[in-house]
Chains A and B, each alone.
Chain A
């Protein structure tokens, strides 16, 4: 099936540790996104990538890093500089039509917790 695959579903981080969240898509989309969601809140944009080998900071990029070496993959690293990493992380890819209509396809998310 075509879609977005995020792994792992649950992840635990020790203090001072970097952890990497995986996001893979087989929808042949150029643009991919990482969002963070805290309980009862909306989604906040961490990083996005419009094309391979290019990415841009979103609203809350501090303490996070990404890479986009392949079209299918957009991994997110939560570094030790992110002091409050406990949250639900969502990856998405985007399709866009000639009429300017955009549609985001989301993965099932990764819940990151601090030990």
Chain B
């Protein structure tokens, strides 16, 4: 599975958009981009995923560049409760007995400030 690179920390003002970048320059054509977040002392929570197209759900938007070498997670109106560590993970599409697992690196610690 491709490696990812994320900044260790970012700040964002409450009510503004938070844009979290992720570099995955070695991604291959059948690898999904996943985003999870972990609020302090809790288990990680799935946010969104994408393959080629941009995606949006009730939590966030995911923008994937045309060459798929990087992506950005957007929280459109960040609140204090969005303060968490955000993990960007790349993983091959998994079928049947495929091996391997989602690998969680250190992620980006997002601090939303009033």
Binding site for B on A (CB under 8 A): 4, 33, 35, 40-43, 45, 48, 50, 58, 88, 90, 92, 96, 99-109, 111
Contact = CB atoms under 8 A, between A and B. Distances in A.
State the main secondary structure of chain A at its contact with B: strand
State the main secondary structure of chain B at its contact with A: loop
Given A100-B32, A109-B41, A42 B105 contact: yes
Contact of B95 (A43, A90, A100, A107): A100
A104 B93 CA distance: 14
B42 interface: yes
Instruction: Identify the interface centre among A35, A42, A92, A107: most chain B CB within 10 Å of its CB.
Output: A42
A3 to B, nearest CB: 10
Given A90-B43, A106-B43, A45 B101 contact: yes
Nearest to A100: B93
